[in-house]
């Protein structure tokens, strides 16, 4: 892993590449090279980039950090913690680096950037793109999951909890099924997540996921039942 500073731009790099740090985060560069292969819209746009034929060796997802809640009406993307190590992109990068090294199926972090401003900073992160994957809300609108698959999801959450990771936004959108090969499940979006001691918080984290599924039954008519939840819990406690 390399740490680089160019003026008021600060980078963490997890991959050797001939591209400069600035090029990695410059969407206009990727557009000029005709390497933008898709996008996803949330608070902002996540850009999907073709890089599997470059020395990086995999396609990428480029995400800028945007604020949520009421404060976003006045401040779209500026954060105010002055310590680089506590910045949104650097903390998520380090979290993913540790989890990827531990074998948890999460996107591999490629690079993170912090741009320091006179007041506060802006941040971006570059991750491995999970190919041929859908989040559970999209998938469960079209089909059901088998009992072994629900148990596999439960086992995945247990694996994360055994690493003492509290996913602050554990919901059905942040679990992906890669519908190719082994049909592997992935966990994504570790912004604002923490390593916590003890076990008291784990039941609340599971309850958050349960509420997410129930919410999407009403909102998106996903195929989910209490039997499915019990199957998930069986995998978690196995």
Active site members: 169
Q: Locate tokens 């995400």: which residue?
A: 63
* Token reading at 52: 């599997």
**Cβ neighbours of residue 46 under 8 Å, at least 6 residues apart?**
39, 40, 61, 62, 63
* Token reading at 195: 């390593």
CB distance 136 to 90 below 8 Å: no
CB distance 136 to 150 below 8 Å: no
Q: Locate tokens 């995999």: which residue?
A: 58
Q: What is the C-alpha separation between 66 and 215, in angstroms, rounded?
A: 24
Q: Do the bridges between strand 175-178 and strand 184-187 make them parallel or antiparallel, or are there none, so unpaired?
A: antiparallel
């Amino acid at each position: 892993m390399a740490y680089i500073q160019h003026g008021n731009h600060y980078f963490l790099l997890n991959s050797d590449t001939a591209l400069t740090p600035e090029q990695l985060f410059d969407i206009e560069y990727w557009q000029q090279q005709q390497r933008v292969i898709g996008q996803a819209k949330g608070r902002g746009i996540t850009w999907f980039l073709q890089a599997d034929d470059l020395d990086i060796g995999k396609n990428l997802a480029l995400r800028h950090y945007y604020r949520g809640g009421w404060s976003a009406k006045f401040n779209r993307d500026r954060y105010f913690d002055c310590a680089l190590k506590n910045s949104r992109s650097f903390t998520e990068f380090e979290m993913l680096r540790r989890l990827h090294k531990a074998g948890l199926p999460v996107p591999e972090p490629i690079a993170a950037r912090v741009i320091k401003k006179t007041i506060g900073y802006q941040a971006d992160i570059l991750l491995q793109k999970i190919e041929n994957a859908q989040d559970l809300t999209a998938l469960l609108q079209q089909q059901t999951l088998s009992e072994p698959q629900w148990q596999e999801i439960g086992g995945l959450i247990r694996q994360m909890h055994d690493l003492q990771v509290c996913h602050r936004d554990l919901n059905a959108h942040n679990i992906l099924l890669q519908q190719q090969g082994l049909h592997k499940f992935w966990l994504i979006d570790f912004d604002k997540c923490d390593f916590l001691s003890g076990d008291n918080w784990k039941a609340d984290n599971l309850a958050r996921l349960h509420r997410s599924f129930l919410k999407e039954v009403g909102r998106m008519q996903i195929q989910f039942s209490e039997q499915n939840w019990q199957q998930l819990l069986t995998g978690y406690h196995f």
